[in-house]
Amino acid sequence: MSASADAPPGSPPGLRVSVDLNLCQAYAQCCYAAPRHFRIEGHEALYYDPAPAAQDRDDIERARVACPVQAIRVEDPERRG
């Protein structure tokens, strides 16, 4: 496969989320902002959805902004400026 494009063909569409779990201190603000996409298990194990549905972008954005250590990175191909 060889491809050249702005949005590479074959790359999954939609939102992409990654959390730098070294930075994350399990403050759980993201879990309050977007409970269906972020949750803490045990004392501080953050489980998150790296590929949320496009209609959930506002929740995801709220979670990203809520994180006190800016550990959440979001890519939204449809909202790229």
Q: Which residues bind another protein (CB under 8 A)?
A: 1-4, 6-8, 10-12, 16-18, 20-22, 24-26, 41-45, 47-51, 73-75, 77, 80
67 binds, among ligand SF4, another protein, none (CB under 5 to 8 A by kind): ligand SF4
Collect all residues with Cβ–Cβ distance below 8 Å to 71 and sequence separation of at least 6: 19, 20, 21, 23, 24
Shortest Cβ 36–another protein spacing (Å): 12
Please state whether beta strands 38-41 and 45-48 pair in parallel, antiparallel, or not at all (unpaired).
antiparallel
Determine the Cα–Cα distance for residues 72 and 65; give it in Å rounded to an integer: 8
Q: Which residues bind ligand SF4 (CB under 6 A)?
A: 19, 24-30, 38, 46, 66-67, 69, 71-72
